[in-house]
């Protein structure tokens, strides 16, 4: 009789797949698995009442190595408050945390690891919904990738941008002004003492970069995709509104836990991704976001087509006056109405029927946008910052699978230019020769950096906006065409061609360029051409050898990365992380 009762309890427990009863550890006895789980969790002081409620998981990406996420503990408490006010049980769990400046060799190398970690922790632990808290460049992309793959009800809460800094009457923003002032320091026009003082003022508060870099771009995209609450991408990290939106996010997550939806696959549709690409063009966003969106969409079996993205850019102007394409910062964008207000200006280009996690349509979000009289940060299509979108996709014999240029942050005089190639074989070669006073380079040359892509670097670092050679910088040269298979920070300015695919390390045409070759960049015609005949290129290919393997590439995560990483046009994800078939 006792055995029969235990068997009945086991069957009941196995049927109930919500709350604490879901995803039980495999012991061969579901009743025992649940008993053991409760016994251990009660060590934390939980009551049966608490343990019988729907569970909301909350990611903890706080790390002493990640100052961008310095407000995460406060956000977690606010989310927990919202969850409990709505009658659910919050459960916080740690995941990988990535900071751009504290990730060797590059944060992109670790994005896929974080996505896998987050996905598996969502799968492995009992939760009916999850709140994903993140911000710094590769964190939100990794979390969106994880949400897409786990496909459990999820809502994203960005940590928010930091406030601006000040130096001698000038407003400072990390990291556009980091690069600008460092360039002046390299050129000898900015003193040692000034650069030291600036280092203390560029990032004056917790939060992500306050310009339209990758973090801010992804915050806008989270809202556009419908995966986060309106305004959640732009509220400053230090403001009380950030805590209120966190509490509201917790309430929403509790409601989603009860309803068991919506799931990410129901929110992040083909139309939602097109909306995100449209906003990306209109905000003059980071080139990184194109790679990230491609990776997130691929997890759901959706293809991001580069030609479609380019066509969107031809029809949607840059409307947001933020650095590096404009003059202002994220706090100004937020108080001008934020992403909802921006979407109102381009609503004819958006699919407003798309759903959001809050249960509203995109049309309802746009209709509710705050209208701020007299603001100039968010322009109208009749008075844009740039007449076309922030990015263009280039094709040609140098980039048969595409390359990207953020022409909204480039020099107009270089949009159509033919010049002599000056080639750097690698990041190490660039470091060794770039500042050599005897380097054979002129201002109208085209700098080429190769073997800096997904496999070549490894990890496709933000090295595409590499410095102007010292001797030219000190002669007053502020911009040159630079071409590479690397990425660049969304905070960077310059005429920089990126994501050349396929990369040099796998034998892409970039591997065959020699110093002295002529290259044409023609952004209006979307062309990137190497002026070397096919016969010569074929001869060069015969003698080309792949670069030697990087240390550690035969084992562990590094080995997995080299064996399975895809190219830029496929999102730099791992080949086995597509949709389950």
> What are the residues whose beta carbons fall under 8 Å from the beta carbon of 150, sequence distance 6 or more?
118, 119, 122, 123, 130, 264
* pLDDT, tens digit, 9 for 90 and up, residues 197-206: 989 998 999 9
Question: From CA 317, how far away is CA 201, in angstroms rounded?
Answer: 33
User: Within 13 Å, how many C-alpha atoms sit on residue 479's CB side?
Assistant: 17
| Res. 6: pLDDT tops 80 | no
Mean pLDDT confidence for 277-301: 97
Which of 9-23, 242-256, 482-496: highest mean pLDDT?
A: 242-256
- Residue matched to tokens 């896998």: 116
DSSP H helical segments within 57-170, as ranges? 72-85, 107-124, 139-150
| Res. 276: pLDDT tops 90 | yes
| Res. 7: pLDDT tops 70 | no
Measured N-to-C along each axis, helices 556-564 and 107-124 cross at an angle, to the nearest 10 degrees, of 100
Question: From CA 346, how far away is CA 310, in angstroms rounded?
Answer: 16
More confident residue, 181 or 417: 417
| Res. 13: pLDDT tops 60 | no
Question: From CA 282, how far away is CA 130, in angstroms rounded?
Answer: 30
Q: Which two tokens stand for residue 370?
A: 């705050």
| Res. 443: pLDDT tops 90 | yes
Q: Give the angle 447-453-454 at the CA atoms, nearest 5°.
A: 170
Mode of pairing for the β-strands spanning 481-484 and 392-396: unpaired
Are the beta carbons of 388 and 278 closer than 8 angstroms? no
| Res. 2: pLDDT tops 50 | no
| Res. 4: pLDDT tops 80 | no
Closest CA to 300 of 155, 146, 138: 146
Question: From CA 324, how far away is CA 493, in angstroms rounded?
Answer: 6
The whole-number pLDDT of residue 491 equals 79
Mean pLDDT confidence for 4-27: 65
- Residue matched to tokens 């427990």: 13
- Over its C-alpha atoms, the chain yields an Rg (Å, rounded) of 25
Mean pLDDT confidence for 509-527: 98
To the question of pTM greater than 0.75 for the whole model, the response is yes
Report the mean per-residue pLDDT for the chain.
Answer: 94
pLDDT band at 12 (very low <50, low <70, confident <90, very high): very low
| Res. 303: pLDDT tops 80 | yes
The whole-number pLDDT of residue 47 equals 95
The whole-number pLDDT of residue 10 equals 41
Question: From CA 444, how far away is CA 430, in angstroms rounded?
Answer: 18
The whole-number pLDDT of residue 146 equals 98
20, burial (CB in 10 Å: exposed 0-12, middle 13-18, buried 19+):
buried
The whole-number pLDDT of residue 16 equals 54
| Res. 575: pLDDT tops 90 | yes
| Res. 250: pLDDT tops 80 | yes
| Res. 521: pLDDT tops 80 | yes
The whole-number pLDDT of residue 1 equals 39
- Residue matched to tokens 């649940």: 34
């Amino acid at each position: 009789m006792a055995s029969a009762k235990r068997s009945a309890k086991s069957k009941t427990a196995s049927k109930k797949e919500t709350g604490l009863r879901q995803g039980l550890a495999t012991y061969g006895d579901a009743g025992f698995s649940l008993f053991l789980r409760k016994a251990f969790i009660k060590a934390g002081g939980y009551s049966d009442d608490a343990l019988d409620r729907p569970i909301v998981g909350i990611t903890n990406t706080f790390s002493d190595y990640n100052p961008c996420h310095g407000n995460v503990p406060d956000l977690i408490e606010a989310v927990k408050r919202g969850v409990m006010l709505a009658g659910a049980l919050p459960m916080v769990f740690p995941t990988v945390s990535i900071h751009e400046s504290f990730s060797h060799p590059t944060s992109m190398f670790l994005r896929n690891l974080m996505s896998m970690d987050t996905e598996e922790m969502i799968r492995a632990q009992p939760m009916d919904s999850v709140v994903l808290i993140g911000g710094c460049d590769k964190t939100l992309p990794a979390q969106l990738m994880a949400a897409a793959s786990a496909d459990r009800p999820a809502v994203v809460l960005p940590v928010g941008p930091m406030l601006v800094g000040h130096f001698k009457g000038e407003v400072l923003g990390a990291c556009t002004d980091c690069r600008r002032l460092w360039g002046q320091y390299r050129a000898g026009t900015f003193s040692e003492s000034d650069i030291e003082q600036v280092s203390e003022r560029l990032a004056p508060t917790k939060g992500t970069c306050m310009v339209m870099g990758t973090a801010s771009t992804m915050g806008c995209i989270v809202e556009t995709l419908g995966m986060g609450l309106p305004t959640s991408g732009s509220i400053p990290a230090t403001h009380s509104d950030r805590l209120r939106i966190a509490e509201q996010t917790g309430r929403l997550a509790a409601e989603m836990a009860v309803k068991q939806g919506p799931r990410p696959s129901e929110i992040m549709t083909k139309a939602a991704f097109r909306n995100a690409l449209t906003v990306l063009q209109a905000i003059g966003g980071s080139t990184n976001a194109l790679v990230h969106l491609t990776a997130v969409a691929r997890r759901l079996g959706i293809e991001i087509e580069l030609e479609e993205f380019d066509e969107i850019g031809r029809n949607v102007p840059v409307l947001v006056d933020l650095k590096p394409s404009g003059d202002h910062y994220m706090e100004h964008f937020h108080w001008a109405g934020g992403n909802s207000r921006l979407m109102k200006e381009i609503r004819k280009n958006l699919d407003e029927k798309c759903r959001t996690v809050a249960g509203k349509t995109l049309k309802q979000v746009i209709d509710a946008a705050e209208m701020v009289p007299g603001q100039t940060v968010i322009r109208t299509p009749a008075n844009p910052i740039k007449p076309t979108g922030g990015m263009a996709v280039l094709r040609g014999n140098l980039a048969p699978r595409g390359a990207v240029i953020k022409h909204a942050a480039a020099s107009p005089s270089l949009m159509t230019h033919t010049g002599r190639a000056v080639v750097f074989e690698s990041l190490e070669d660039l470091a060794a020769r770039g500042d050599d006073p005897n380097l054979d380079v002129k201002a109208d040359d085209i700098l080429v950096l190769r073997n800096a892509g997904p496999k070549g670097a490894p990890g496709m670092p933000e090295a595409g906006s590499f410095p102007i050679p010292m001797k030219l910088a000190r002669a007053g040269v502020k911009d040159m065409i630079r071409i590479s298979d690397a990425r660049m920070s969304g905070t960077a300015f310059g005429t920089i061609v990126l994501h050349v695919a396929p990369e040099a390390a796998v034998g892409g045409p970039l591997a065959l360029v020699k110093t002295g070759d002529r290259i044409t960049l023609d952004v209006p015609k979307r062309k990137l051409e190497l002026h070397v005949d096919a016969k010569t290129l074929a001869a060069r290919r015969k003698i080309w050898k792949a670069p030697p393997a990087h240390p550690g590439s035969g084992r562990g995560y590094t080995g997995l990365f080299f064996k399975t990483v895809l190219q830029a046009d496929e999102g730099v994800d791992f080949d086995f992380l597509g949709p389950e078939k």
